[in-house]
Structure 1
Amino acid sequence: MKLQVIQDGSGKSAGVFIPIEDWTLIKANYPDIETLESQIPDWQKELLDLRINAISKNPEKLRPIEELFDELDREI
């Protein structure tokens, strides 16, 4: 997939151009993609901000997802 980033007059990224062939493939794999909302709700943004902030304060607490899966398997 060859995407092109579109920039505004100040050089800030403003959008992405997706070739039609790639867009057709995306729509085939995700038929409801055009009905999805483009914005996430404010409560989700706030939750993400809280989690990102917590991670930035304690990055040593991050663990690979495989460790979580192993732990869950042991509990069953």
Structure 2
Amino acid sequence: MKKITLDVPDDKVDFVIELINQLGLTSSEEPDIPEEHKEIVRERIRSANQDDLVSWEEARKQLMFKSES
């Protein structure tokens, strides 16, 4: 089976999705991530130092503080 990637104008998306459904085709909005990229992320997760991590709330405070300066 072949995969096709389409760029569809915003005002035509509903039409194209309906056409895909009528033809019995499948559509997916999931990006096709190469295995090489996935492995890079896995390695970064494995090597992450838990002591260097901050909560989302703390990171947000730091970012807001920087944007105010």
Q: TM-score range by the shorter chain?
A: 0.3 to 0.5
| Greater fraction of residues in strand | 1
TM-score with structure 1 setting the length: 0.42
Q: Which has the higher helix share?
A: 2
- With CA pairs under 8 Å and 6+ residues apart, which has the higher RCO, 1 or 2? 1
- State the TM-score, normalizing by the size of structure 2: 0.45
